[in-house]
Every structure is written in C-alpha cells, then in structure tokens.
Amino acid sequence: MVRYLKPGKIIVASHNPGKVMEISDLLNPLGYETLSAKELGLMEPEETGKTFIENAEIKAKSAAENTSIPAIADDSGLCVDLLLGEPGIFSARWAGPKKDFSLAMNKVENALNNKNVDPTGQKAKFVCALSLCWPDGHCENFEGQISGTLSFPPKGKFGFGYDPIFKPLGFDITFGEMDPDKKHSMSHRAEAFNQLVKICISEKK
C-alpha cells in the first residue's frame, strides 16, 4: 500500500553536495525541511545493489533507520550504449576515491576511443532512481531517465558529475551549460521526483 510523506524533516541521504542541492531545491517548496547525511555525520553505507533502485534503497533505508526520520536517496549514473551501459551503477566509482569527475569523464572518452569511434555523438542516457524510506523500513521507489548524446571536451560550469559531457536530445548544449532551473525541469532526477510527488505527496493534499 502506498504511503504518503507528511510535511516535516527529511534526510537527503547523500554526501554529494550537488545531489543534496538538487533534491533540496525540489523538496523545500513543498514544505519539507531537508537535512543532509553529511551534516548529520552519517556514514555512507556500502552500495552492494545490482541496480540503481537497489542502491538508492540501501542508502535511504540506512539513513532513516539511523535517524528515525524519513530519508530520500538518489542513485544515478550515466549509461553509454556502446559501452554496454557502463559506467552505469559504477558511475561514481569511475571518479575514484577523490570523486574527481574530470577523471571519470576522461575514462569514458578513453573507453570509446579504444573502440575506434568518435566519442562525441555517442548515444547515452542518464538514469536516476529515488528511494523514499521510513524508519520502519517501508520504502517507495521511483526511476527516471533522459536520453541524449555525449559531447567532448566537457563544457559548462553548471551541474555536477557527468553533466558537462551530456547533451539531452533536442538540445545543442550540455547539462553543464544549461541553466540549472531548466535542467531541474527536465532531468532524469526531475522525472523520478515527479513520480514520487504524484504518488507520495500530491494525493494526500
């Protein structure tokens, strides 16, 4: 049975400031006070799932159980067609222990060069799974996607992660070049969030 989220405090179970900001920007106008896992000193659980949803649920469930406050977590990544969906659920790991996404984007480019193709123009998609969990272990899960192509070298000062090399379909600029409000309105994260709002927030009002 679907569970609705009451207004109040909610943990954004992430240590990634970009993700925390995007999710907070979506939740705050709806009457929720967001707190990040990092500011609460929560440890990052080991992501042992085999899908984006499994990993998002691991993070949200851990935060909710350790704080007795509902938590939301995002697991997202870049999936490149010619790389058979990689880096996929390992998108953050491609950035190394220092979470250097310049390194990660370079790895994507090199992997495509090794296939003797032009990295620019290759088909890819961003996937975002959102998991909303309560302290009793109940979770509601949602997933959004947006398709596009890769563009090298990286461009843009906005966004985070792989945004500077991803052009959504129908646009000639990367997410890194796009106005943040525009990106928020159409991204994979926005699609997943809109599903969450429709199911867990809007219906209770």
Residue type, 23: I
- Its pTM stands at 0.90
Catalytic hit among 74, 75, 163, 172: 75
Q: Catalytic residue at 181?
A: no
> Of 126, 122, 2, 112, which Cα lies nearest the Cα of 52?
126
- Residue 94's φ and ψ, nearest 5 degrees, are -65, -20
205 residues of the chain, pLDDT tens digit each:
889 999 999 999 998 888 899 899 889 999 999 999 999 999 999 999 999 999 999 999 999 999 999 999 999 999 999 999 999 999 999 999 999 999 999 999 999 999 999 999 999 999 999 999 999 999 999 999 999 999 999 999 998 999 999 999 999 999 999 999 899 889 999 999 999 999 998 644 4
Q: Which domains does the chain have, with CATH numbers?
A: 8-204 (3.90.950.10)
